[in-house]
Structure 1
Amino acid sequence: RVGLGDFGLIRVLGKGSMGKVILARKKDTSRLYALKCVNRNYILNDGLCKYVIEEQAILKHISTERDDSDGPTSLHPFVAKMQFSFADSHHLVFVMDVYSGGDLEKLLREKKYFNAALTRFYAMEIVSALEYLNENGIVHRDLKPANILLDCDGHVVVADFGLSKRLTSEAPTSNLPCGSTRYMSPEVIARNAYSYSPDWWALGVMIYEMLTGKLPFPSPPDESSYTLMDKICQSEVVIPKKLPVHTKDIIARLLDHNVVTRLSRLDIKKHPYFQRVDWSKVRAKGYSRTSISVTIIPTNDTFSNTRSKGGKYPGYVASQVP
């Protein structure tokens, strides 16, 4: 039986309200993994168990080759993979593949904004991932740059399915208000029934942010979340005039308050913003991004189990798991 003792803990990659994500090396194979360690007491005390169970089921579904009618059978290169999971008396642990290029949020913070070509490159890979998730009945519900990881070649990996939901014919919609406020869609804020539309709104926010370095609905540090929510629901986005016509149009159509006319997986690939894109080539990682630096997680023994150094990933002592 696999347990935390079978891994050498190297460093904390991220911390959240329910636990930590830790870079670790499996002792018998020396292979690196990202361990998402969820504190069992926390989720039981706060009644969050059903969300963790849902996340585990979704990760298993998108990480397993299937030969049935339950969605596309092949794994998708732009969606995070779980190798396996296990539990002990204190933790539920998802053993995830490691993606060593950082994430889109850190890259945006470093570069301020991206040029048109790089933005389009990331956008078309995210579209490919969202199409796959939607076809498998999955709405992510927390799509944002921090949850778009990058592999060593700079390709995107949609990650963190902690707020995701799998829709079914019996329950084709949800009205749970969740996600990160700045990327939250009007229908989520209003607690209206929705299916996949929040993810496409979030994509519109990210395209705007990648091109301008700003959010379409800016929020001062001292502004309350409720004020920002009102702004998102009641304001029309102001798109910079300097952007090309097709770019302005796709942003406007993704940030459409009307979920019926908002772009979705059914029509977004046909938008002129993506003209001449070979979508089979996208999924095959046939396009490469323009030259831009990526910081890689070292795969040697630079990091010990009790000490971590600075750099792209702020280090924490990883000897204690919450």
Structure 2
Amino acid sequence: MADLKLKINARRFSSPYRSINNDLNIQLFLHNAHRSTNRKNSNKPSSHSKQHDYSQDKIKNQYQLQCIIGVGGFGRVWKVIHKQQVFAMKEINKALVLLKQSVPSIMTELKFLTELKHPFIVNAYSAFQDTQNLYLVLDYLSGGDLRFHLGKQRKFSEEQTKFFVACITIALEYLHSQKIIHRDIKPENLIFDNHGYLRITDLGVAIKKHAQFPQNFETSGTPGYMSPEVLFRQDHGIPADYFALGVICYECMTGRRPYHGTRKDIREQMLLKQVQVNMSDWSPEANDFINQLLLIKPQQRLTQPRTHPWFKNYPFDLLASKKLQAPYLPVRKDNFDKAQILIEDEENHQIIKLNQHLIKDNQHLFDDYRCQINEKSRRSSITNKMFFQLF
């Protein structure tokens, strides 16, 4: 137990969300959110004040919990059954969201998911809440994430990697056509279905490019997969996602990432040299493809993977209709690490216990976290007022 507490403390204080003045930061964040809400409602009669309605509590009972298939920074991911269909259900703890000052990102993800539907992303079907948690119901994919399989396989062949990259490219093209930049493309956010096709998930730090606000200097994502322009707090866009794709290619090829360490370490490595790969057991086109994605300058980076010689004559039409035989199939029944899930779940449990007090006075920040996706009209299924109040 003592070892676990040490791990929890190390995780909390190494988190990018924590700092020496974290308690003060949390209070400032909540204070600003309160002020924003009050300004929005200041001209409304008191009789119109929104009352907390947790009749949604009963919705969870409609889902039969099967098992925990993952644990993330905000809570568990369950395999559930609803009306004889299998789904994945994210259980997002409100205390963890408040502690990490992530109300806007949680609201943003739900807003995007209600507007999107595509066979190469993990789609949403419903969102609701109770007093402790938010719930997001998604496609269930049984193949596990690419990180799990990289851990088992260490490396992948050129043929397998090309298939993975083609799947990711189709998904990114769709997101970018909607002016959405994912900003956190990494193996943990790439999930296999049972036919070996990859889908993109987790839009928590995604942004939408607007003509009125064309520049973005805020840094988000995962060190090791962040593009140089993000790490150096420069304006960034679509090329940032393709740099991350290059890192994934490099990892599939070599079994490791091109850059390691803290953000500071990675920045220094990028300043020292431009990464180049030249693997003799991969084709020259594959080597060049990865090198083009990993270029430091975003204006020189490859952002149209289909046009590269590595994908010459590749049957993207068959891939898009999922008529290709995948070169790598997840064969395990449980494509996730049960031991790691237990450790991370206990860590989250201890952190939640210490920060339970954050929920009581801030329930209203989650008032609009709810939706029921209508397949015929996904864009009219939710009102996310807090999204606009907080930005």
TM-score (norm 1): 0.83
Deviates more, 1:149-158 or 1:162-171: 162-171
Q: 2:122 aligns with which of 72, 77, 80?
A: 80
User: Is 1:16 matched with 2:40?
Assistant: no
Aligned length: 289
Q: What do the CA deviations read for 1:118-149 (whole angstroms, capped 9, x no partner)?
A: 11111111111100110011111110111100
User: Is 1:227 matched with 2:269?
Assistant: no
Q: What do the CA deviations read for 1:273-317 (whole angstroms, capped 9, x no partner)?
A: 1000132222111222225443245xxxxxxxxxxxxx7441667
The answer to whether the Cα contact below 8 Å between 1:174 and 1:194 also exists between their aligned partners in 2 is yes
The answer to whether the Cα contact below 8 Å between 2:195 and 2:329 also exists between their aligned partners in 1 is no
- Sequence identity of aligned pairs in percent? 26
**CA shift at 1:259, angstroms?**
0.8
The answer to whether the Cα contact below 8 Å between 1:253 and 1:263 also exists between their aligned partners in 2 is yes
Provide the residue aligned with 2:255 in structure 1: 213
SS in 2 for 1:183: coil
Deviates more, 1:43-52 or 1:178-187: 43-52
Distance 1:284 1:40 in 2: 39
The answer to whether the Cα contact below 8 Å between 1:3 and 1:88 also exists between their aligned partners in 2 is no
Structure showing greater Rg: 2
Provide the residue aligned with 2:301 in structure 1: 262
Provide the residue aligned with 1:91 in structure 2: 133
Distance 2:99 2:275 in 1: 40
The answer to whether the Cα contact below 8 Å between 1:101 and 1:154 also exists between their aligned partners in 2 is yes
Provide the residue aligned with 1:272 in structure 2: 309
> Which amino acid in the other structure matches residue 313 of structure 2?
R
The runs of at least 4 aligned residues of structure 1 exceeding 6 Å deviation read none
Higher helix share: 2
1:29-178 aligned within 5 A? 29-63=83-117, 76-178=118-220
SS in 2 for 1:92: strand
Distance 1:187 1:37 in 2: 33
> Which amino acid in the other structure matches residue 242 of structure 2?
W
Provide the residue aligned with 1:71 in structure 2: none
1:290-305 aligned within 5 A? 290=327, 292-297=329-334
SS in 1 for 2:127: strand
Q: 1:291 to 1:255 in 2, by over 3 A?
A: closer
Distance 1:273 1:226 in 2: 33
Q: 1:36 to 1:232 in 2, by over 3 A?
A: farther
Distance 2:153 2:251 in 1: 12
Provide the residue aligned with 1:314 in structure 2: 338
Distance 1:285 1:206 in 2: 22
Unaligned runs of 5+ in 2: 1-55, 353-391
TM-score (norm 2): 0.69
Q: What do the CA deviations read for 1:149-207 (whole angstroms, capped 9, x no partner)?
A: 00010101111111111222222332221111011110000000111111100000111
**CA shift at 1:233, angstroms?**
4.4
The answer to whether the Cα contact below 8 Å between 1:100 and 1:295 also exists between their aligned partners in 2 is no
> Which amino acid in the other structure matches residue 118 of structure 1?
Q
The answer to whether the Cα contact below 8 Å between 2:194 and 2:329 also exists between their aligned partners in 1 is no
SS in 2 for 1:154: coil
The answer to whether the Cα contact below 8 Å between 1:128 and 1:282 also exists between their aligned partners in 2 is no
SS in 2 for 1:89: coil
Distance 1:179 1:39 in 2: 21
Q: 1:111 to 1:142 in 2, by over 3 A?
A: same
> Which amino acid in the other structure matches residue 209 of structure 1?
E
Distance 1:92 1:225 in 2: 31
The answer to whether the Cα contact below 8 Å between 1:154 and 1:294 also exists between their aligned partners in 2 is no
Provide the residue aligned with 1:305 in structure 2: none
The answer to whether the Cα contact below 8 Å between 1:21 and 1:36 also exists between their aligned partners in 2 is yes
SS in 2 for 1:226: helix
1:181-260 aligned within 5 A? 181-217=223-259, 219=260, 223-242=261-280, 243-260=282-299
